[in-house]
Amino acid sequence: MKRPSLPTQAVYVATFLAAAAFIGGFALAGALTVNQGSPEAAGGNYESTTAISWWSQAGVGLTTVPSTLPASLTATTAAAPQTLPASATSYLINAGTSGDLAHYFAMTEAAGAPTGTEVELTFSVSTGTTPTLTQVTVYVESPSTSPTTATQFTFEYDLGSAATASIVLNSVQQVSQVCPAVGTCP
């Protein structure tokens, strides 16, 4: 029994296609280059915490500084905290200009919150293409009368004008800490 033979043209075409695929595979492999980037580095520690039961974050985000500037939160020493009012209020934690871009934290004081308690608030804002960290610490005191309903306080950090410069907001952080007594924060 005689095996069927392939036409010579078919053998040449198959050989050509196999060679082209083999050479093309080498050419593609030569064009594909994978470079290793610079080593990544990270650091820091995790500290377990307990939330303040009557003081919680209600919201966080970006906004614009309103045309009527909010009150300034200027109590930067534990010995002289700024007493929070009985009603919802907004505060600037740095100098502000109407229309500037601002990062805000909205915090809620729960109904029945303890009176005359000092809270240390630390705001860390990292801005710029090459991040520059700015840290502001302020002190607030809960009102002398416990609120009957939850009261929201908004703290804004003016990031600057997007019309005059590019704003790169890299990271933000707000840390609240209850002080053991008014005027004695760590």
101-159 pLDDT per residue, tens: 999 999 999 999 999 899 999 999 998 888 999 999 999 999 888 889 999 999 999 99
Report d(CA 29, CA 23) in Å as an integer. 10
Mean pLDDT of 51-72: 92
- Which helix (H) or strand (E) segment holds residue 24: the answer is helix 8-31
Report d(CA 131, CA 125) in Å as an integer. 9
How many distinct structural domains can be found in the chain? 1
pLDDT of residue 133: 92
pLDDT of residue 32: 46
Could you tell me the pLDDT band of residue 63, with boundaries at 50, 70 and 90?
A: very high
Range of the domain at 147: 55-178
The answer to whether 120 and 183 have CB atoms below 8 angstroms apart is no
Inside any domain, residue 132: yes
The percentage of the chain sitting over the pLDDT mark of 70, rounded to a whole number, equals 74
Span of 45-49, 106-110, 176-180, 181-185 with lowest mean pLDDT: 45-49
> Which residues, other chains included, contact 135 with Cβ-Cβ below 8 Å and sequence gap of 6+?
122, 123, 124, 125
Inside any domain, residue 140: yes
Burial 45-73 (b: 16+ CB within 10 A, else e): eeeeeeebebbeeeeeeeeebeeeebeeb
pLDDT of residue 144: 85
Inside any domain, residue 77: yes
Report d(CA 181, CA 146) in Å as an integer. 17
Residue 106, class by beta-carbon neighbours within 10 Å (0-12 exposed, 13-18 middle, 19+ buried)? middle
Q: Which amino acid would we find at residue 152?
A: Q
Q: pTM of this prediction?
A: 0.71
Strand 82-83 relative to strand 55-64: parallel, antiparallel, unpaired?
unpaired
Alpha helices in 101-142 (DSSP H): none
Inside any domain, residue 50: no
Checking if the pLDDT of 19 tops 70, the result is no
Inside any domain, residue 13: no
Check residues 26 and 127 and name the one with the higher pLDDT.
127
pLDDT of residue 20: 56
